[in-house]
Amino acid sequence: MGAQQVRDGFVGLYGAEPEGLWAAPGRVNLIGEHTDYNDGFVMPFALPHVTVAAVSRRTDGLLRLHSADVGGGASAPVELRVDELTPESDRDWTAYPAGVVWALREAGHAVTGADVHLASTVPAGAGLSSSAALEVVVALALNDLFELGLRGWQLARLCQRAENVYVGAPTGIMDQTASACCAEGHALFLDTRDLAQKQIPFDLAAEGMRLLVVDTRVKHAHSDGEYGKRRAGCEKGAALLGVDALRDVPYAKLDAVLGRLGDEEEVRRLVRHVVTEDERVERVVSLLESGDTRAIGPVLTEGHLSLRDDFRISCPELDLVVDTANASGALGARMTGGGFGGSAIVLAEETDVPAITKAIEEAFATAGFTTPRVFEAVPSAGARRLA
Ligand code: GLA
């Protein structure tokens, strides 16, 4: 769906031109999984897939929300009052944009209502941050229209608060920051403790490589509860070790630290994943900065094994992508995002892409799994105003 269609959709719904059009992308995470709520390092990049929003201000306290992607776009806009928004009152898609309005108002910003029409090309439920794209596009539009003067990382924080408190999902800060702050042709090296950012050039095509996203189309029903359990386990680990967050456990002292966890075997595995994953992010950054891009492949695969064996959030479909890709000549592969389904990424030489894709599709057919959706991910722009 193009920007013009979103503008036309807005006019059809609300009977006037929107004041503007904005876009915010989904993301894949190259490396740094389940580190963001441990104050650690992540390295996502933005996808070309975006959520587009057409938005106009209102001054009468009314928030009208409509999505072209819900119910075939045929339903009427949902009408809410900005002064009646209540956390965890809404289990529908509208909780995300409404949560952003709530978070902005909670932070003291005078958002007095809006008409919103949205359409997205970010695959939903695929672990590619369609919800962060939805939050960030609305936050950016309101930031511009109400002249709030907030920076990308500040919008990301408010969107995370919308998701944590209003929607009620205990996620970290990675997805919203990726959608708000990524730059075309770059991966974003983010320190989630202070939100310090560094854009790392990541142009695989120029070096004859490709990064594939394989959406397994698996969405595990219990994933939200499992995410919260992992997060709680990490917090328990930090408390047992007397640190603010697992980010504070030095990689060089990991063995000794793990020895201090006594019979807490589960916590030990979680701690080992987080501490080694932070080290993998730093290793990938230094490999990319020294121009040794192909060498990141094995680090990605190491990360997958850690998520599979220590963090225990993979699933048979994700493991099959990684194993098949690596057996067919990929440079490396791993699951990406929250886990329990969603997508995996595969780093490969351009010339090997057809054979690897075919091998994955055949392996899925043989296993009786739903045909995965495979596409190439090109590092794309972060959230922006279109018109
Ligand atoms: C989800 C969350 C992120 C992050 C990842 C795992 O995408 O929204 O905050 O924790 O899982 O790395």
Helix axes 353-367, 316-327, angle to 10 degrees: 140
- Contact at 8 Å (CB) between 49 and 123? yes
pLDDT of residue 72: 86
Q: How far away, in angstroms, is 33 Cα from ligand 1 center?
A: 7
List the one residue out of 48, 50, 45 whose CA is nearest residue 183.
45
pLDDT in tens, 264-274: 999 999 999 99
Longest Cα–Cα distance in the chain: 66
pLDDT in tens, 142-187: 999 999 999 999 999 999 999 999 999 999 999 999 999 999 999 9
Compute the average pLDDT of residues 90-94. Answer: 93
pLDDT of residue 241: 98
Residue 222 has pLDDT above 60, yes or no: no
Q: How far away, in angstroms, is 178 Cα from ligand 1 center?
A: 11
Q: Kindly state whether residue 92 falls inside one of the protein's structural domains.
A: yes
Q: Which residue has the higher pLDDT, 253 or 224?
A: 253
pLDDT in tens, 33-46: 999 999 999 999 99
Q: Kindly state whether residue 110 falls inside one of the protein's structural domains.
A: yes
Is residue 90 part of the annotated active site? The answer reads no
Q: Kindly state whether residue 316 falls inside one of the protein's structural domains.
A: no
Q: Kindly state whether residue 170 falls inside one of the protein's structural domains.
A: yes
CATH of the domain at 57: 3.30.230.10
Q: Kindly state whether residue 109 falls inside one of the protein's structural domains.
A: yes
Q: Kindly state whether residue 295 falls inside one of the protein's structural domains.
A: no
Q: Report the distance separating Cα 103 and Cα 12, nearest Å.
A: 29
Structurally, the chain folds into a number of domains equal to 1
Tell me, using a 6 A CB cutoff, whether residue 33 lines ligand 1: yes
Range of the domain at 91: 3-199
Q: Kindly state whether residue 46 falls inside one of the protein's structural domains.
A: yes
Q: Kindly state whether residue 293 falls inside one of the protein's structural domains.
A: no
pTM over 0.95: yes
SS3 329: coil
Instruction: Determine the atom of ligand 1 nearest the C-alpha atom of 227.
Output: 11
Q: How far away, in angstroms, is 31 Cα from ligand 1 center?
A: 11
